[in-house]
Structure 1
């Protein structure tokens, strides 16, 4: 196991399948990219130049202040007096089917045709946010990722992306022999499966709350709190006053992770340690299902906040546990994505160079 986190090589091994990257019609154009989230949505205007996308202006908005994503985009266009926008690309936290999406954490439904009509921009693309993030990995610089583990025996192959945040995002990149082709999954909504007696008790605790217990109920902001309240309510761990205040103030996630870093209270350490065990196990499952010999990329807000813990042996040792596949798992390189703009950048890459 690597003792110290080290910078990933600049080339980052990403050669994405971008069939329209050489199209002259996609050179020297402006496009709008949107990272659509339940609380705060980021909108940026990009220039597409010589096979690269470059962010020129970006603004963050309170999502719920708008009645539609079209109104939000039109506000951005008006504020920055933008003209000659060729395309719009919207990264959505949920499944996209036939240019439509109805994400659970958003106040509105989305339809690419309706957005075209309301924005008067003829090319509008909706893309799952983790699929967009996968495209964004290819646009990240050498400082956008750090190596958690590298056996030195890695090879080309499929890639897995696991991103716990407001929800649990999971995506893959298929290696076709020459390029990587990103695709979305909804694996975060698969059912959680307990392994130990304590985990069975945890499952039963969540089953009374949710009925069906998905991995998103374990590996997300709300999942972190679910682990905590199980330890507090079922395992009789004391709740310290600073966490009581944090729960009331809506800052629980930051407080419990910082509490573990500073070793302020046992329940903080137990919560983070349990989360990391589950994170390693779901990472294991995703890698095996995708046969992701090209690597595992941990992304999202929570892994970034837990960076100092993820580098410890507890994560890696739980990641390689398998009845028959430990020989494959021990050679899977693991990276932490530190670039917080992969979604909005990736949505721009997808619109600029995947489509004519």
Structure 2
């Protein structure tokens, strides 16, 4: 791996002739929407040929969604199915809290009559989706002393996704974590006050309660309800319409109201803090990659000094942290693309 971010993933069956010129279906399941796409493999790549989106809760199971996709597109000769889920995968089964039903590889095989089914955590899939994606990486900080190594992937969105890529000396091997559910740790007196505010709501306060769409709103309502910052009328209307995340970020970009900028500044500090922790735990000298819907909207704020200066704060590890390259992943399709890569080339 070079500092130009050319990924070489561990894909043991990428050269297998049996994986060339095959068709597969990949899925990215989310609370509200499920995204499906038809891929074909060509010259060690996966090429998207067709896409559809479905309302997740309109279906009684995931096999019902995928069978609908196959019927809608009159698909035949599907060799593999890849499924990315927003939660842990254990023994071929996942039952994420944000989904209305569990996802089971055996059930998918039985209901679709397709024997090769690959179930993968969505952030692990996103890590696979980084391959050959250098053109969609926006450098936020580049190192003058790059050292190949593990990579950390951080994705605040509907939840807080965290994953890693282990550097084995020649290739990168993605793996999932559930680090977003680790407990939030306050540092300042204001953060202790914020912690107690969240504790009354959740009991156990995880980082996902701070760094997600819901977390962004938690920061906002703490500033509004505890710190007595005024809620403008226009934002009341946006909250009532369910448009809070986009509205608060655009409000900060346009500097419309003080509470918007305070909310985003606080979120950026917390994002830098958790990025710092993830990088240190993984010793991710290969880089930090920020992905997901919120970082994309926060691009302007990630490019200023506030994020980086808070990221490198440490008791003894600032020397390591200042040499970590940081990138924003601008491709919004890394999950579904990465799941397809994993299914296509992880085995024959």
TM-score under structure 2 length normalisation:
0.99
2:52 pairs with 1:52? no
Equivalent in the alignment of 2:83? 90
Residue 126 in structure 1 maps to residue 119 in structure 2: yes
Q: CA deviation at 1:139?
A: 3.8
Name the residue aligned to 2:144.
152
Aligned mate of 1:300, from 292, 316, 333: 292
Q: Which runs of 5+ in 1 are unaligned?
A: 1-8
In structure 2, the residue matched to 1:25 is 18
Taking structure 1 as the reference length, what is the TM-score of the superposition?
0.96
* 1:1-356 alignment, distance < 5 Å: 12-140=5-133, 142-356=134-348
Aligned residues: 347
Deviation of the 1:242 alpha carbon: 1.1
For residues 215-243 of structure 1, the C-alpha deviation after alignment (integer angstroms, 9 at most, x for no partner) is 00000000000000000000000000111
1:11 Cα shift?
5.5
Cα separation, 2, equivalents of 1:13 and 1:56: 25
Q: Is the 8 A contact 2:87 2:121 kept in 1?
A: yes
Deviations 1:50-95 (A, max 9, x none): 2100000011111111111100000000010000000000000000
Confirm or deny: 8 A CA contact 1:139 1:346 kept in the other structure.
no
Deviation at 1:144, TM superposition (A): 1.3
Structure 2 segments unaligned to the other structure (5+ residues): none
Q: CA deviation at 1:155?
A: 1.4
SS where residue 63 of structure 2 aligns? helix
Q: Name the CA distance, whole Å, in 2 between partners of 1:190 and 1:12.
A: 29
Deviation at 1:355, TM superposition (A): 1.8
Mapped contact 2:3–2:148 kept (Cα < 8 A): no
In structure 2, distance between residues paired with 1:320 and 1:76: 46
Cα distance per residue 1:231-270 (max 9 Å; x no partner): 0000000000111011100000000000000000000000
Q: Secondary structure at the match of 1:76?
A: helix
Contact 1:45 1:56 in 2 (8 A): yes
Contact 2:6–2:132 (Cα < 8 Å) also in 1 = no
Q: d(CA) in 2 for partners of 1:320 and 1:154?
A: 16
Q: Does the 8 Å CA contact 1:246/1:252 hold for their aligned counterparts?
A: yes
C-alpha separation between the residues in 1 aligned to 2:64 and 2:3?
Answer: 39
Is the CA contact (8 Å cut-off) linking 1:139 and 1:345 kept in structure 2? no
Q: Secondary structure at the match of 2:13?
A: coil
* Residue 12 of structure 1, CA deviation: 2.5
Aligned mates of 1:222, 1:355 — CA distance in 2: 38
- Where 1:225 maps in the other structure, the secondary structure is helix
Rounded Cα–Cα distance in structure 1 between residues aligned with 2:278 and 2:151: 10
Tell me, what secondary structure is at the counterpart of 1:246? Answer: helix
RMSD in angstroms over aligned alpha carbons?
Answer: 1.0
Q: What CA distance in whole angstroms lies between the structure 2 residues aligned with 1:347 and 1:11?
A: 24
**What is the distance in 2 between the residues matched to 1:12 and 1:329?**
18
8 Å CA contact 1:189, 1:214 repeated in 2? yes
In the TM superposition, residue 127 of structure 1 has moved relative to its aligned partner by 0.1
